[in-house]
Amino acid sequence: GKRAFIAGIADDNGYGWAIAKSLAAAGAEILVGTWVPALNIFETSLRRGKFDESRVLPDGSLMEITKVYPLDAVFDSLEDVPEDIKTNKRYAGSSKWTVSEVAESVKEDFGSIDILVHSLANGPEVTKHLLETSRKGYLAAISASSYSYVSLLKHFLPIMNPGMYLVSHLISPCGSSISLTYIASERIIPGYGGGMSSAKAALESDTRVLAFEAGRKQKVRVNTISAGPLRSRAAKAIGF
Ligand code: NAD
C-alpha cells in the first residue's frame, strides 16, 4: 500500500480530513501534520472518539491515523524559530515541528512516503482588503500559504518514492504531491483579502515550476486542485 503525509489537519471539517479519508479508503497509510497550537485539542478529540463518526469509511471500518506529527510550516529549521515562539506554552510542549525536522522524523519512523498533501493556509489579515493589508500580513500569508508548500516538497522530496522508467515504460508509479488552491487567484473574490489571493496565485505558479523540477529530478508529480467553497474552520473564520 501507499503511505501519505497530509499536512494541515486539525479537525474533521476541512479538506485535509476528507482527502485523508479518500486515501485511507483506497488503502493508504495515513500520517498527519497538525499545526502545533491545534495539536492538543486535535489529539484529545481523536482519543476521546469525537471524530469516530466521521472516521467511518465506505466499507464500514474506521480510518486509522498511524501518526500525528506536530508541524509549523512557517519554520524550516530550528534556527528559524524566534525565542517568543520557542518559549510559547503552546509550542514548548512539542518538539521537532519545523518542516525539516518533521521530514527527518517521518524518514526515521517510516523511511519513505508516496503521497504528500498540502492542505494548509493562513492569512492573518485575510479579512482586510488588499489595499489595507500591511507588508507583514501579506508576507505572512505568502509564508504560511505558499512557501510552506515549497518547503514541504523540498524537504519531503528526498524520501518520496520516485517513479521509475524502463526504456519508455513507467514500471513503478510516481510519488505524487498535491495542494489546494482557490479561484480567488485569478478572479476577484471580495473578502478573500490580506494577500491570500496573491498567495494562491503564487501557489499555482509554483506548482508549474515545482512539477517541472520534481518531475525531472525524481519523477514525482506536483499538482494543485482549485477547490470549491467549503465551510471549514478556516473558511468560517473569514465569514465564507
Ligand atoms: P482547515 O482549517 O481545515 O485547514 C487549514 C489548516 O491549516 C488548519 O488545520 C490549520 O491548523 C493549518 N495551518 C495554518 N497555519 C499553519 C502552519 N503555519 N503550519 C501548519 N499548519 C497550519 O481549512 P480548509 O479550508 O480545509 O483549508 C485547507 C486548504 O484548502 C487550504 O489551502 C485552503 O486555502 C484550501 N481551500 C479551501 C477552500 C474552502 O472554501 N474551505 C476553498 C479552496 C481552497
Instruction: Provide residues with CB under 6 Å of ligand 1.
Output: 8-10, 13-16, 35, 38, 71-74, 119-122, 144, 180, 182, 227, 229-230, 232-235, 240
Phi first, then psi: what are they for 203, rounded to 5°?
-60, -40
- Residues that are catalytic: 182, 192
Closest C-alpha to 71, from 151, 160, 168: 151
CA of 172 to the centre of ligand 1 (A): 31
Given a cut of 80, whether residue 94 has pLDDT beyond it is: yes
Sign, CA torsion 222/225/226/227? negative
Name the domain count of the chain. 1
CA of 100 to the centre of ligand 1 (A): 20
> Which CATH number is 138's domain given?
3.40.50.720
* Residue 8 structural domain: 3-237
Mean predicted confidence (pLDDT) in 138-160: 98
Q: pLDDT tens digit string along 206-226?
A: 999 999 999 999 999 999 999
Eight-class DSSP state of 50: T
Q: Give the CA count within 13 Å in the CB-facing half-sphere of 189.
A: 22
pLDDT value of residue 127: 96
Q: pLDDT tens digit string along 96-137?
A: 999 999 999 999 999 999 999 999 999 999 999 999 999 999
CB atoms within 10 A of CB 144: 20
